[in-house]
Chain A
C-alpha cells in the first residue's frame, strides 16, 4: 500500500469531487456553465438575506407615491410591477424556488430513471418488458392534461408540481441508461465479475453503475434543466404552486396584469434567468458527454 494514500471516506469524497471538478473545467463551455450555475446556487441559498424587500410588498418611491411599473433604476434594479412590487426581490426569491424544484425533480427523476434503466437493461426478459411497457405508457402521457388533472384533484401545491414533473421526465433517462446497461453487460469485465462470484445486485450497482455514471450525470443536468423549463411553463399557465414565487410565476403575473407590452423589464428578467440557467446546465452536461463518449474528445 503506498504511503500517504488515504482510504478514508473523507479522502474518497475529496478525490471524487476533485475528479469531477477536473472534468467540468476541462471544457471551456462547461467551465462557464459551472460558474453561472454556482452563482445562481449561491443566490438561491442566501435569497432571503439578499432580497432587499418583500416580494409582495408595495413599494413607495421618494415622493411617497406607489412605485408602479418603474423601469430598472438604481433603487429598483429590475423595476417594479404594476402593483409596485420590487421585481429584483421577486427574482431573487424565485431563484430559490426554481432551483429547489429543478434540483429536487431532477434528482428524483434521475434516481428513478437510472434504477429502472439499470434493472431493465441488466435482467432483460420479462422484467425488461414490464418496465419498458410502463415507460412507454408514460411516454404517451401528455404533460399538461396530466398536471391539470393532478392540480384539479389535489390543489395547487408544490409537491404536486414536483410529482408531475418527475413522472414525465424520468422516462428518457430510463431508456438511455437501459441501452447503455445492455451494452456494458456484454463486456468482458462483467463476465469476469460474475466469475469472481459477484451477485447480480453487486454487479449492477458496483460494476455497471460507475460505467453509466457519465451518462447519468449528463442526463441529471438535462433533467434539472427540463424540470426548470417544465415548472416555468406550468407556472406560466397558472398551474404552479400559488404560495411561492418562481420565474414562471412571475411571467404568469405579468400576463395576468396585461402589461406585457409595456413592462419589458418584467418580461426580460425572469426569461433571461431561465434561459441562462438552462443553457449553463446544458453546457455543464457537455463535459460529461465527452466522458461518456470518449470519441468526442479532441485528438
Chain B
C-alpha cells in the first residue's frame, strides 16, 4: 500500500469547541443581485402585504407568512432581461438563513443564493461520561461568539425551511407581482 494513495489525515488531539453561535456570511445583497442578474439594473420595489394578500399567499403555498414587509427589487436591463429579486429570511429550530430568490418576468425561478447562515443552540450537557475523555485534554479555546468555523462534518442539516420559503415567495409573486 502506498501512503500517497491515502488522503492525508493527520490525527490530532481532540479538542472540543463549543461556540454559542456559528455564522457564515456568503454574499452581500449587492453581490447576490449581481450573481443572479449580472449587469442588470435593480430598483427597490418593497411590498407591504395586506391581510388579504397574506392569507392568499398562505392558502396558495401552505406556508405561514411571518413578516408583512418584503424586500423586493425590480430588475431591468442586463443579459438576463426583466425580473424580480426578493430578499427573505427563514428561521429553523437552530438556524437562521438569509437568502435571495431571482425570478424571471414570468415568475420562473432564475436563481437562489444563500447570503448568510447562522446557527445557535441552547444545549445542555447530557451523558457527560464518555465525553469527559475529550474535554479539557487540550487547550480548547472557546471560539468567540459568531465565530466563523469551516469544514464541519455532521449529519445533514435540512434546508426544508428555505424550500418552504421559496414556495411562499412563488405564491407572493402570483398574488402581488404578477
The judgment on whether A and B are partners is: no
Interface residues of A (CB under 8 A from B): none
Interface residues of B (CB under 8 A from A): none
